[in-house]
Amino acid sequence: MAESRVLVVEDDQLLRTVIAEALREDGYAVDTAADGEVGLDLASRARPDLVILDLMMPYMSGEEFSEAMRQLDGLGSTPIILISASRQTDDIGARIGADLSLRKPFDLFALTDRVNYLLRRSA
Amino acid sequence: VRANLPRSTGAAGGQRPPVAPWPPAEDASLFRLLVDSVVDDAMVLLTPEGHIASWNPGAERLAGYTADEIVGQPFDHFYTEEDRAAGKPGKLLVIARLEGRVEDDGWRVRKDGSRFRANMVITALHDQTHTLRGFAAVTRNLPPRGVREHGLLQCDNRFGTLVDSIKDYAIFMLSPEGRVLTWNQGAERLKGYAPNEIVGQGFERFYTDEARRAGLPHRLLAAARAEGRVEDEGWRVRKDGSLFWADVVITALTDADNRLIGYAKVTRDLSERRRAEQDRAARLAAERTAERIERLQVATAALAAASRPEHAAEVLIDVAIRAFEAAAGAMAVPTADGSALEVVDARGYLPGIVQSDRHVGADESILLSYTWRTNQALFLGSRAQVQTEHPELMATLAASRFEAWVATPLVIDRRILGVLGLSFDQQRVLNPDERGFLLTLAEVGAQAIDRARLFESEQLARTDAEAAVRAQDEFLSLAAHELRTPVAAVKATAQLAERTIARGGIDPDRLARHLQSIARVSDRLGALIDDLLDVSRLRTGRLRLRRKQVELVSIVHEVMSRYRATEHRHQFVLTASERGARVDADPLRLEQVLDNLLSNAVKYSPNGGPIEVQVSHESDGVTLTVADRGIGLPAGEELRIFEAFGRGSNATTRQIQGLGLGLSICRQLVEVHGGRIWATSPGEGHGTSFSIWLPAMDVAEQDGRHHG
């Protein structure tokens, strides 16, 4: 079985790095993007099995990103974990069909556990 | 028949008809004399068909026709065209025939076409066989004073029948000494005496004791003798002692040699009319009062509903115009500095005048100002009154298109809130009632305006407070949002380090890196919190400055040297004149501003390059400019970047960290120092220049008197 790929789209440099590091430690191939535009480009090329998505980012919001990504061939039902400082994180997560919505600051292990659960099940 | 009727003596002044020697040989001539002596009332005989059969001097005086001209003509001659068209004259005769008499008040037409208001009584005249022989028509000119027209058709020329048949007037003759000589039915009905009781008696008994004591009866006769006739209105006494209000005309009767032969006395009971008039006046007054109260209630209700002063003014003007039937109305209030009046609302004035300069035309506005200055209501019923009472206003009001004016101050608790003015198309004198009403209206209006103002200022204060609370909420929510991401990064880093340790794979380098990250983000968080507090303090004006005399260039040197030590990719260049630039400032805050501008310059020129700082003196202040060769500013964003959380759009897309608080803080810090800050950029990719200007210390302070 080829290793699962995770795409992290988050504009905060440290948070992005730490999430990527934790997931790599868990055995995933991780791509990172600091904004939605770069993220979409990566998604279309790297075909991630799961996306960790920030909501408020420059140039393109998390919502716009998810909509655009769903249009990409084969990425229509890729699981999304939403991470956001917004008070409406849960609502927005439900709206874009996120598998999990976490409000910042969140428990890193809640995030990694859900990634493991989703990817091992679908694998 | 007609031919046998007597003629008037012709000329209008014919109060001296030719008379038969006294005592008269024949009743008819006496009564004819009597009728002909009456010059104030038209006494006319009509044929059963309504043609004029006799014409007395009163009729001539009233209607302008001589007997020659009019006898034989239909009596509807005297009616207006409308009345004639409506068949009124004929109807009156029918009623008189059926009911014996008819009374009618209305317009009549004179020979010259002019109109007069008349009261007319038409009495039907029947002979012993109950055959209608004609009508007696007595007409009196109504409002000022009357002339009665009394006509009586008497087939055999017997004026006695004419006079006798009249029941609404006491018509009788007096001897030169004042004894009653004749007595008609009207006299009997009015005064209660039968002819045999009274003929031969002195006429003083018709007067009250008081009038008799005052010698009124004989004074009246003397006056009639001297003037030809005399008129009197007053109380008279009936046989039973009761009083009635009478209108009396006494005419002196003289013979051809101008010897007094007696007096003709015509008395009318005005009690009914007087009572009716009093009732009517009382009713009118009551109606007016009721109407005013109602208007006041309506006005009060409408004014109470006015939540804005302008609306209250509108209602007040509206009510006042309607209540006084004014042609125009305006309300003015003092301007904010109290130096002049400004029109709040106006109705009925030429629109251009009011709207163009908020004045009601120089003429009327002078009136408002005058009232405002004197704090006295002004009632100018006519131009003549202006001329006599306020000639100083005449010069301006002369040009007005109005004829009368009133103005009243609107006062509450001795404060003049404004002035209400009304203008009238015609002369208009307000009676005391109306003046009272206007003043009450002004009082109610002043209260309403005061209340509306209070309400409005409270509402504005509330809106301001609400906006401030909302802005604060928004700020806090944005701030909290911005704080959550770095906190999330710290927490995640700590958790990752913890997991690494838990799994036993302790890599000291990696752990150190995590811990450094945590420390770095914590610093950023600390700075962020300071920024937020500064923003909050600046917004609420709670920032305290510790000002002193500061040498700007030395501060710039100091801050730049710190940057030179850490930022090696940039070249920091200072250009400053030799002369020291001293400003009155809080040095720590000034340093904060400089630090912010330099860190921005570094941050937004990621590719390095020179960062030039220039300090230049001007006569009134010092300008400091920090210029970089960085990413520049998109056009139109030069102002937005100074707002809290406002960042250049290219800054966010280029992943440059920052909340957008720094420049907002700089702007406010510079502003509390009395200075300005601005940004210029030739465009994206071409660098940005930030400049601050601070006022120079004034000479006295530079001389060392400053103790900062």
- What does the pLDDT look like over B472-502, one tens digit per residue? 777 777 778 778 888 999 999 999 998 888 8
Kind of pairing, strands B548-551 and B582-585?
A: antiparallel
Q: How many inter-chain contacts (A to B, CB under 8 Å) are there?
A: 70
Question: Which pLDDT tens digit goes with each residue over B358-411?
Answer: 555 445 667 888 888 888 999 999 988 888 888 888 877 777 888 999 999 999
pLDDT at B17 over 80: no
CB-CB neighbors (< 8 A) of A56 in chain B: 481
Q: What percent of chain B clears pLDDT 70, i.e. is strictly above it?
A: 85
Give the minimum alpha-carbon distance from B522 to chain A in angstroms, rounded to a whole number: 12
SS3 label, residue B169: strand
Q: What would the mean pLDDT of B59-75 be, rounded to a whole number?
A: 86
Taking CB atoms and an 8 Å cutoff, what residues of chain B touch A104? 484-485, 487-488
Q: In the 8-state DSSP scheme, what is residue B175?
A: -
State yes or no: pLDDT of B315 exceeds 80: yes
HSE value, Cβ hemisphere, 13 Å, CA-based, for B550: 22
**Best to test chain A binding among B487, B496, B509 (most A CBs inside 10 Å):** B496
CB nearest to A105's CB, from B481, B491, B520: B491
More confident residue, A98 or B506: A98
Determine what percent of chain B falls in helix, strand and coil, rounding each to the nearest 5. 45, 25, 30
A35 to B653: CB separation less than 8 angstroms, yes or no? yes
Look at residue B588 and tell me whether its pLDDT is greater than 80.
Answer: yes
Residue A53 has pLDDT above 90, yes or no: yes
- Selected residue with higher pLDDT from B150 and B27: B27
Give alpha helix (H) positions in B81-169. Answer: 81-85, 88-99, 159-165
Extended strands (E) in B242-324? 243-254, 260-269
Whole-model pTM?
A: 0.44
Q: Residue B162's pLDDT band (boundaries 50, 70, 90)?
A: low
The DSSP symbol for B401 reads S
With cut-offs at 50, 70 and 90, classify the pLDDT of residue A6: very high
* CA–CA min distance A123, chain B (Å): 25
pLDDT tier for residue B420 given thresholds of 50, 70 and 90: very high
B510 CA: distance to closest CA in chain A (Å): 11
Confidence bin at B460 (pLDDT 50/70/90): confident
- Please, which pLDDT band fits residue A115 given cuts at 50, 70 and 90? very high
The helix-helix angle for B271-305 and B309-324 (nearest 10°) equals 170
Span B310-320, average pLDDT: 88
pLDDT for B647 equals 62
Label the pairing between strands B41-46 and B115-126: unpaired
User: Can you give the pLDDT at residue A57?
Assistant: 73
Has residue B18 got a pLDDT over 90?
no
Distance CA B499, CA B697 (A): 60
Asked if the ipTM is above 0.85, the reply is yes
Residue B350's pLDDT is 67
Cβ-defined contact of A14 to B517 (cutoff 8 Å): yes
CB contact under 8 A, A103 and B484: yes
| Closest by Cα among B293, B325, B331 to B312 | B331
Token pair 């309403």 in the structure block, residue: B448
Given a cut of 50, is residue A2 above it in pLDDT? yes
Residue type, A85: A
Q: What are phi and psi of B12, to 5 degrees?
A: -60, -35
Q: Report yes or no: A60 at the B interface, CB cutoff 8 Å.
A: no
Q: Does B488 touch chain A (CB under 8 A)?
A: yes
Residue B348 to residue B332: CA distance in whole angstroms: 15
B278-303 average pLDDT score: 80
pLDDT band per the 50, 70, 90 thresholds, residue B22: very low
The pLDDT, as a whole number, for residue B422 is 92
SS3 content of chain A, % helix, strand, coil (to 5): 45, 20, 35
How far apart (Å, rounded) are the C-alpha atoms in residues B252 and B227? 8
Q: Report the SS3 class of residue B277.
A: helix
Asked if residue B118 lies in contact with residue B139, where contact means CB atoms within 8 angstroms, the answer is yes
